[in-house]
Amino acid sequence: MPHPALRVRNVVAASLSLSVLALSACSSSSGDSKPAAKTSGPASSPAASTSASPDAAEKEAVLTTYTNMWAAQMKAYQKADAAGTDLTKYASLDALAKFRLDLAHMKQSGTVGGGEVGHSPTVSSIDLTAKLPKASVTDCIDLTNWKAKQVKTGQVIPLPANQPKRYIATAKAERWSGRWMIVDYTPDGGRTC
């Protein structure tokens, strides 16, 4: 059986890379970096868009769905259980399956998440002309204040030394019956931000 830190790393990499948002959220061509937002609970809504684009309202709706999914996911990770969260309200298909697998691994290894995971999501693409409208979100995940711990002992399990503290995650969203759902979520620990 793998060392607890390696199991936690796999869970963290598989789930927290989760937040799917644009590289521009983490860096710009001028080298300026955007600080990650802290997420400890559901946000009311992402900041209002300043774009006059006809897609602006839909992009805001995608970010609202993603932000609400993120809050439900963090709530579930804090107890290694999705019961009592709104995760199924915002995530479906592969995204929901991946989150449920992460939660099962956490429960099996007796670990839960704690602290805060910062993130900076942006809509990196949107296609409203497709029969099934789609969008992509890119997120810069910040694990600086994230802690995994053993449920029985409360012992904090440090992240492996080679685990990046900040990395990119991407999500795919689809609009079903007038509302957006996150249908896939992929963390990429190899892409730092």
Among the residue ranges 44-58, 137-151, 175-189, the one predicted with the least confidence is 44-58
- pLDDT confidence tier of residue 118, bands split at 50, 70 and 90: very high
Q: Which residue has the tokens 């995608």?
A: 62
Pick 147 or 46 by higher pLDDT. Answer: 147
Give the percent of the chain with pLDDT over 90.
69
Among the residue ranges 17-26, 121-130, 160-169, 173-182, the one predicted with the least confidence is 17-26
Q: In this model, does residue 151 exceed pLDDT 50? A: yes
Q: Are 102 and 14 in contact (CB under 8 A)?
A: yes
Sort 43 into a burial class: Cβ within 10 Å, 0-12 / 13-18 / 19+: middle
What tokens appear for 130 in the block?
A: 């497709």
- Total-model pTM: 0.75
| pLDDT given for residue 36 in this prediction | 41
How many helices (H) and strands (E) in the chain? 4, 9
- What are the start-end ranges of the H helices in 78-139? 87-90, 93-109
CATH code matching the domain that covers 4-28+54-192, chosen among 1.10.760, 3.40.1620, 3.10.450, 2.60.40: 3.10.450
Q: What φ, ψ does residue 184 adopt, rounded to 5°?
A: -155, 150
**What integer best gives the mean pLDDT of the chain?**
81
pLDDT digits (tens, 9 = 90+) for 40-97: 444 444 444 445 576 899 999 999 999 999 999 999 999 999 999 999 999 999 999 9
Q: What φ, ψ does residue 79 adopt, rounded to 5°?
A: -130, 5
| pLDDT given for residue 53 in this prediction | 74
| pLDDT given for residue 7 in this prediction | 39
Q: Residue 193: name the closest of 5, 43, 37 by CA.
A: 37
Q: In this model, does residue 178 exceed pLDDT 60? A: yes
46: number of Cβ within 10 Å: 18
| pLDDT given for residue 52 in this prediction | 58
Q: In this model, does residue 189 exceed pLDDT 80? A: yes
What tokens appear for 122 in the block?
A: 């942006």
